[in-house]
Amino acid sequence: MARYGILVDLKRCTGCMTCVIACKQENLTRPNIWWNKVLELESETLDRIIYFRYACMHCDDPPCVESCPEQAIYKRQDGIVLIDHEKCKGHGDCIKACPYGVIDINPDEDYFRGQKAPYGETEDPHRKHPPGKSSICTLCVHRIELGKEPACVEGCPSRAMIFGDLDDPNSPIHKKLPKSEQFLKSEGTNPKVFYLVPRDLSKQIERRIVENPTMGR
Q: Which of 84, 37, 76 is nearest to 59 (CA)?
A: 76
Confirm if 80 and 58 have CB atoms less than 8 A apart: yes
Confirm if 180 and 7 have CB atoms less than 8 A apart: yes
Q: What track of x and - describes contact with another protein for positions 139 through 158 (by CB under 8 A)?
A: --xx-xxxx------xxxxx
Q: Is 47 in the site for another protein (CB under 8 A)?
A: yes
Q: Is 16 in the site for another protein (CB under 8 A)?
A: yes
DSSP-assigned letter for residue 118: G
Spatial distance between the Cα atoms of 117 and 140, rounded to a whole number of angstroms: 21
Which residue in 44, 170, 186, 203 binds another protein (CB under 8 A)?
44
Which residue in 52, 56, 60, 85 binds another protein (CB under 8 A)?
85
Site size for another protein (CB under 8 A): 62
Which residue in 21, 97, 177, 184 binds another protein (CB under 8 A)?
21
Q: Is 203 in the site for another protein (CB under 8 A)?
A: no
DSSP, collapsed to helix, strand or coil, labels residue 209 as helix
Q: Is 131 in the site for another protein (CB under 8 A)?
A: no
Q: Is 172 in the site for another protein (CB under 8 A)?
A: no
Q: Is 32 in the site for another protein (CB under 8 A)?
A: yes
Which residue in 61, 89, 108, 112 binds another protein (CB under 8 A)?
112
DSSP-assigned letter for residue 54: E
Q: Is 111 in the site for another protein (CB under 8 A)?
A: yes
Q: Is 15 in the site for another protein (CB under 8 A)?
A: yes
Spatial distance between the Cα atoms of 93 and 202, rounded to a whole number of angstroms: 27
Q: How far is the CB of 185 from another protein (least distance, A)?
A: 25
Spatial distance between the Cα atoms of 79 and 84, rounded to a whole number of angstroms: 15
Half-sphere exposure of 201 (CA within 13 A, CB side): 23
